[in-house]
Amino acid sequence: MLIGGRPAGCYNLIAASFGFQLGAQAHSVIIMFMTNDALHGFSRKAGWKVGVDGSVTLITLGVDGSIDTDKITSPVIGFVLDQKGLMYNLTLEGSKISRTSC
């Protein structure tokens, strides 16, 4: 985690998925707290569950390659990136973010 451009902690994101799966998926997640209240709500908890302790509005890439800028006004926004760039059709709902040692 970076606050004001300085390291402020390390976190681990865990998500469970059920059903048949083949292969592995690697991606990066960027979560941005757009208000101090949202950041403090996250910082007060040792484990933070997306959708329970707070919601993350995912910024997705549209069919035409555009980004919906109306969603950027949410208190917590997230970007999911793979090796090709911004991903679409993915959710962080049910994911748990936990503080780890750096």
Task: Give pTM, 2 decimals.
Answer: 0.73
Q: How many CB atoms lie within 10 A of CB 47?
A: 13
pLDDT at 74: 87
Rounded-to-integer distance, Cα 96 and Cα 48, Å: 6
pLDDT at 33: 92
Reading the chain (102 residues) residue by residue, the pLDDT tens digits are 999 999 988 988 887 655 554 455 567 788 899 999 999 988 888 778 887 778 888 877 666 667 777 767 889 988 877 766 665 556 777 788 888 888
Rounded-to-integer distance, Cα 87 and Cα 91, Å: 10
pLDDT at 45: 81
Q: What are phi and psi of 67, to 5 degrees?
A: -115, 135
